[in-house]
Amino acid sequence: MNQFSIVGKDVPRNDARAKATGSAIYTDDVKLPGMLYGQILRSPLPHARILHIDTSQVASLPGVRCVMTGEDTPKVKYGNWRLFPETQDEYPLAIDKVRFIGDEVAAVAAVDPDIAQEALSLIKVEYEELPGVFDVDAAIKEGAPVIHDYCPSNISVNRKIKYGDIDKAFAESDYVREDTFHVHAVSHAYLEPCAAIAQCDLDGRITLWTSTQVPYIIQCLLASTLQMRENDIRIIKPFVGGGFGGKMELRTWEFCAAFMAKKTGRPVKFTLTREEEFLTGRRRHPMKIHSKVGFKKDGTLTAKDLKIYLDGGAYNAMGPTATFLCGNFGAMLYRYPSYRFHGQHVYTNKPPASAMRGFGAPQSIFATESQMSLAAEELGLDPIDIRLKNAQVTGDTIPDVATISSCGFIEALNKVAEMSDWREKRKTLPKGRGIGIGCYSFISGGVFNWFNTQYPFSAAEVRAFDDGTAHLLTMAADIGQGCDTVLKQILAEAFGLKMEDIRITSADTAITPQADLGAWGSRLTLMNGNAVLDAANKIKAQLFGAVSARFNLNVIHEIECKDGKVYPKGRPDRSLSFGEAVAMAQKINRGEPLVARGYYTPRNKGLVTPSFSFGAQVAEVEVDQETGVVQVQKFWTAHDCGTAINPMAVEGQLEGSIQMGLGYALSEQFVMEGGKTLNTNFLDYKMPSSMDVPPSEVVHIETYEPEGPMGAKEAGEGLAIPTAPAIADAVGHATGYRCKDLPITPEKILRAKRES
């Protein structure tokens, strides 16, 4: 294992003090002179044609400065899949129809938020109500109401994967099982609601501060929807209070803030309320998953046939990617000699589902893991043994899709079994108590260029100074996951400097290098980390010149940066301080500052990702036999994220993942009636509180990912996957009830008990 100085250490997060002391500036904290406050008028109907919008009353309300509808806009559709323009199905404000309760219809800006709120009530919209569809079965039925005219089937995306002779494999299987799973929508429930504030300068250029995961994507899509040039738009991401996939698209308020700032000449701010977030916000895709798997008698997998309908809600949002990925994740974790997938993304009259932590994997892998445990029981095998038998290993390939370049899955399975005393407990726990397992694999960023960017996927600029400091500039968006800290650690390690020697400027599209695709798909540590290393290596090449000149080095020498010094490898006695080396390099170049840019774009890495993380989690539960209440007693997790650049930050990811997974498994759901979300606050949206989170133990499995910076791969989303299947398996072990429709509520447990 490589010896690192700062990488692999528990380094306190860059943002920790600012957040703990309240000095962190979030978008809503940004206040500009003369600023106006925006509000959005939303559709009260799930599906309707807009016949007429009358805004004439609004102007009479003192304090209103601007009102706009879709008619005022350039009417350009947008969506993140620019490579396939037909998937771009959304306007900033509704043009012809509204397609869900909360669909944005008009916006106003006024001198205070109360006036803006009141102004909304003066806008009169005449609708012709249309029948709505609220689940995939209704939406794909013959003669179902058509939600988008361009898509008469309501199926907007079809994705297929196939390899191996699947029919033959099933025919030759000793045991085949088929199950249908229903998984539900849950909210990102980031603590900072969406907010944006736009300013337009006298040259007509726009600056937008926004709570986003994807500054570059916002810049590009805002430019196209406003019909402006990309570089006349500057996106600045202040501190962000979480995103989890819910802030990775251009959204109405970003467009309207910019549009109205341009129109009024005054800054315009929008901040959503929690009620708006719950009523209309993005959510995790509900899916209907039909999965057929085949085994040999000894538990060896032979085939898998997976059909998934994604309930996409009213627009595609990030649905195409989720459709793509849930099929890829269906083939992960285990070696399927033959595999067939058909994913269909279906429109319904509900708030659009989109990316959410795990991006298709929590749903798909819930089915995978449930079936592995069910099959183990039927075949008389231990659930961990059947997994060990089929586990993917380093070097495995998924035909035409990906190669696994590092994999600690088997080690993780063995470790959680040992930590949790699995083999004993699975045999001896009394009725009402149970132990269960869930596993995961996840991507470290995506390969496929659906955004159709002309830039590298990640970029970094590094400036080195003769005072022994360095400045790192990157468009990577720290949204609370901690990439500012991790990227600084990588640079500090590469230069042999300390954390406090590095200044970072991130996520400002006007001053950080083009481009970065954003914080999603657990891509930043690997992709932006590689870009930082590339830039650092270019600087080091220049420092080599300086050190070489000073010590008259042989050309075969390599240089090393460590403890603030630069020296030929193995000869620390011949050293310059980092600052001296920079000064010399600068003199050689007649004062030219020492600056380098680094880039990373995955190449020859298949269709999905450059590298996969793996892990396993065991949950122990106690189920109250009379009330059906599930109490998780403890979690044990063993995971492989390659080199953990910052183990403390990785553990933070695990804690957050467990909290999210617990809610997904047991308590969180949108209560909906006719397309309307009824639980629009944290009292009725049952996100687990800190008091509900059980103790947990974790072990990092040591692997070294050759494609990752200093051996690192993802740790952000994969961990959100195993918790629900682990709890479901444990509840099954405790009660005999196998949940196939999340969440696992007390009522379902009792109903199953009555029926058994």
Partner 1 sequence: MRLSRFDLYAPATLEEVFYLLQAKGPDARIMAGGTDLLLKIRHGALKPKSVIGLKKIQGLKTISFDQSSGLTIGATALLAEVARHPDIVKHYPTIAQAARGTANPQIRNMGTVIGNLCNASPAADNAPTLLAMDAKIRIRGPEGERVLPLDQFFKGPGQTALIPYEIVTAVHVPAPSPNTGTAYLSLSARGKMDCTAVGVAAMVTMTGKTCAGVRLFVGACGPVPLRAPKAEDILRGQELTEEVVEKAGTQASAESRPISDMRASGDYRTEMVAVLTRRVLREAHQRALAC
Instruction: Give the one residue of 230, 563, 692, 702 binding partner 1; rule: CB under 8 A.
Output: 692
Hey, what are 163's tokens?
């390899």
Say if residues 384 and 413 touch (Cβ distance below 8 Å).
yes
Nearer to partner 1 by Cβ, of 180 and 631: the residue is: 631
The residues in 488-517 that bind partner 1, with binding defined as CB under 8 A, are none
Nearer to partner 1 by Cβ, of 101 and 206: the residue is: 101
Verify binding: residue 691, partner 1, rule CB under 8 A.
yes
Strands (E), 432-510: 433-443, 458-464, 470-474, 502-506
Nearer to partner 1 by Cβ, of 180 and 627: the residue is: 627
Verify binding: residue 746, partner 1, rule CB under 8 A.
yes
Taking the CB of residue 661, how many other CB atoms lie within 10 A of it? 28
Nearer to partner 1 by Cβ, of 416 and 665: the residue is: 665
Taking alpha carbons only, the member of 184, 399, 181, 398 closest to residue 307 is 181
User: 247: helix, coil or strand?
Assistant: coil
Question: In degrees, to the nearest 5, what angle opens at C-alpha 79 toward C-alphas 264 and 86?
Answer: 125
Instruction: Give the one residue of 83, 689, 697, 706 binding partner 1; rule: CB under 8 A.
Output: 689
- Minimum Å gap between C-beta 194 and partner 1 is 16
The residues in 2-31 that bind partner 1, with binding defined as CB under 8 A, are none
Question: In degrees, to the nearest 5, what angle opens at C-alpha 92 toward C-alphas 145 and 113?
Answer: 115
Cβ-based neighbours of 555, under 8 Å, separated by 6 or more: none
Nearer to partner 1 by Cβ, of 597 and 748: the residue is: 748
Q: Are strands 283-284 and 353-354 parallel, antiparallel or unpaired?
A: parallel
Verify binding: residue 158, partner 1, rule CB under 8 A.
no
Instruction: Give the one residue of 290, 425, 686, 738 binding partner 1; rule: CB under 8 A.
Output: 686
Say if residues 463 and 384 touch (Cβ distance below 8 Å).
no
Instruction: Give the one residue of 271, 370, 509, 667 binding partner 1; rule: CB under 8 A.
Output: 667
Q: Rounded CA gap, 535 and 542, in Å?
A: 11
**Amino acid letter for position 749:** I
φ and ψ at residue 450, rounded to 5 degrees: -70, -25
Nearer to partner 1 by Cβ, of 10 and 114: the residue is: 114
Nearer to partner 1 by Cβ, of 300 and 696: the residue is: 696
- Minimum Å gap between C-beta 688 and partner 1 is 6
Instruction: Give the one residue of 2, 158, 227, 273 binding partner 1; rule: CB under 8 A.
Output: 273
Nearer to partner 1 by Cβ, of 712 and 750: the residue is: 750
Verify binding: residue 275, partner 1, rule CB under 8 A.
yes
End-to-end Cα separation, the chain, in angstroms: 53
Instruction: Give the one residue of 627, 674, 697, 741 binding partner 1; rule: CB under 8 A.
Output: 627
Judged by CB under 8 A, which stretch of 50-58, 69-77, 294-302, 686-694 contacts partner 1? 686-694
Q: Give, as one character, the DSSP assignment of residue 70.
A: G
Hey, what are 6's tokens?
């700062």
Q: What's the length of the chain?
A: 756
Q: Rounded CA gap, 304 and 259, in Å?
A: 50
Cβ-based neighbours of 24, under 8 Å, separated by 6 or more: 15, 18, 239
**Amino acid letter for position 205:** R
**Amino acid letter for position 272:** L
The residues in 292-321 that bind partner 1, with binding defined as CB under 8 A, are none
Judged by CB under 8 A, which stretch of 145-153, 339-347, 540-548, 675-683 contacts partner 1? 675-683
- Minimum Å gap between C-beta 629 and partner 1 is 7
Nearer to partner 1 by Cβ, of 400 and 626: the residue is: 626
Verify binding: residue 747, partner 1, rule CB under 8 A.
yes
Nearer to partner 1 by Cβ, of 116 and 200: the residue is: 116
Verify binding: residue 745, partner 1, rule CB under 8 A.
yes
Task: Give the binding-site size for partner 1 (rule: CB under 8 A).
Answer: 26
Verify binding: residue 741, partner 1, rule CB under 8 A.
no
- Minimum Å gap between C-beta 261 and partner 1 is 23
- Minimum Å gap between C-beta 362 and partner 1 is 20
Verify binding: residue 61, partner 1, rule CB under 8 A.
no
| Complete edge-to-edge strand list for the sheet that includes strand 565-568 | 559-562, 565-568, 576-577
Judged by CB under 8 A, which stretch of 168-176, 284-292, 566-574, 621-629 contacts partner 1? 621-629
Taking alpha carbons only, the member of 203, 182, 187, 156 closest to residue 290 is 182
Verify binding: residue 684, partner 1, rule CB under 8 A.
yes
Judged by CB under 8 A, which stretch of 343-351, 410-418, 563-571, 740-748 contacts partner 1? 740-748
Q: Rounded CA gap, 198 and 346, in Å?
A: 34
- Minimum Å gap between C-beta 274 and partner 1 is 10
- Minimum Å gap between C-beta 128 and partner 1 is 29
Say if residues 183 and 366 touch (Cβ distance below 8 Å).
yes
Nearer to partner 1 by Cβ, of 549 and 671: the residue is: 671
- Minimum Å gap between C-beta 388 and partner 1 is 34
Verify binding: residue 54, partner 1, rule CB under 8 A.
no
String of contacts with partner 1 for each residue 109-148, x by CB under 8 A: ----xx--xx------------------------------
Judged by CB under 8 A, which stretch of 63-71, 336-344, 729-737, 741-749 contacts partner 1? 741-749
Place of tokens 């060990």: 388
String of contacts with partner 1 for each residue 65-104, x by CB under 8 A: ----------------------------------------
Residue 465, classified by CB atoms within 10 Å of its CB into exposed (0-12), middle (13-18) or buried (19+), is middle
Inter-CA distances, 310 with 212, 344, 740, Å: 25, 6, 16
- Minimum Å gap between C-beta 689 and partner 1 is 5
Cα dihedral across residues 376, 381, 382, 387: positive or negative: negative
Say if residues 67 and 40 touch (Cβ distance below 8 Å).
no
Q: Are strands 594-600 and 301-313 parallel, antiparallel or unpaired?
A: unpaired
Place of tokens 């202040």: 238
Nearer to partner 1 by Cβ, of 51 and 683: the residue is: 683
Cβ-based neighbours of 666, under 8 Å, separated by 6 or more: 630, 632, 688, 727, 743, 744, 745
Judged by CB under 8 A, which stretch of 226-234, 433-441, 582-590, 739-747 contacts partner 1? 739-747
Q: Rounded CA gap, 349 and 674, in Å?
A: 9
Q: Are strands 559-562 and 672-673 parallel, antiparallel or unpaired?
A: unpaired
- Minimum Å gap between C-beta 750 and partner 1 is 7
Nearer to partner 1 by Cβ, of 582 and 724: the residue is: 724
- Minimum Å gap between C-beta 631 and partner 1 is 8
Q: Rounded CA gap, 308 and 289, in Å?
A: 5
Verify binding: residue 629, partner 1, rule CB under 8 A.
yes
Residue ranges binding partner 1 (CB under 8 A): 113-114, 117-118, 273, 275, 626-627, 629, 631, 667, 671, 678-679, 683-684, 686-689, 691-692, 745-747, 750
